Structure 1
Amino acid sequence: MKSYLVTYDLIDGGDYDSLFEEIKEIASGHWHCLESVWIINSNLTASQINTRLLKTLDSNDRILVTQIHGPNTSWSRTFSDECRDWLKKNLHPVES
C-alpha cells in the first residue's frame, strides 16, 4: 500500500462532494486535516488516482497527486491528536 498526497483547487465553487466521495472510494485510509489536502493510502498509481479524480472536476479545476513516504515527512504539532496519530501510523515520519 502506498501513500499519496492529493491537493486541489476547485475554481468557481466546484463539486467538492463528488471529489470527496471519489477520494474515499479510492482510499483504503485517508487523512483530511487541511482544507484542500488529503493523504490517502491506495494500491493504485498516482496516474490512476489522478485519472479517476479528474472525472469529478470541471475543466478549469486543478489537482496534484504525488506519492509520499517515510522518514522525510514532517508536520507541525498544532494538528489534533487524531490527525497526528494517523500520520504517525501511516507515514512513519520524524515529527517536528
Structure 2
Amino acid sequence: MATLLIGYDLNKQKNYPDLYDAIKGLDSAWWHHLDSTWLVVTGHTAKQARDILVKHLDGDDELLVIDVTDRDRAWGGFNDKGSGWLNSSYE
C-alpha cells in the first residue's frame, strides 16, 4: 500500500463532488483536512491515481499526485517550469 498526496486547483468550472467521489474511490482510507489536499492510502500508484482523477478535471485545471512513501510521483496540467522544478527536486 502507498500513501498518495493529492493536490489540485480547479480553475473555471468547479466540479468538486465528482472529483471528491473519485478520490474517495481510490480506497477507503483517506484524509481531507486542507481545501485542495488529500492523503489516500491505496494500492494504486501515483500515475494510476492521476489517470483516474484527471478524467474529472477540465483542461485548465491542475493536479498533483505524489507517493509520499517512496517518491513515486505524477502530475498533469503544469507548465514546463513547474514540471521542471518537480523533476529536479527529486534528483
Structure-2-length-normalised TM-score: 0.73
CA distance in 2, matches of 1:59, 1:33: 26
Partner of 1:2: 2
Structure-1-length-normalised TM-score: 0.69
Between the two proteins, the alignment pairs up a number of residues equal to 70
Aligned partner of residue 51 in structure 1, secondary structure: helix
> What 5-or-longer segments of structure 2 have no aligned partner?
71-91
Write out the 4+ residue segments of structure 1 that deviate beyond 3 Å after TM superposition: none
Contact 2:6 2:38 in 1 (8 A): yes
Contact 2:26 2:42 in 1 (8 A): yes
Of all paired residues, the percent bearing the same amino acid is 36
Residue 3 of structure 1 deviates from its aligned partner by: 0.1
CA distance in 1, matches of 2:69, 2:46: 13
CA distance in 2, matches of 1:68, 1:27: 16
Larger Rg: 1
**Structure having the larger proportion of residues in helix:** 1
> What 5-or-longer segments of structure 1 have no aligned partner?
71-96
**Structure having the larger proportion of residues in strand:** 2
Superposition RMSD in Å: 1.3
CA distance in 1, matches of 2:27, 2:9: 20
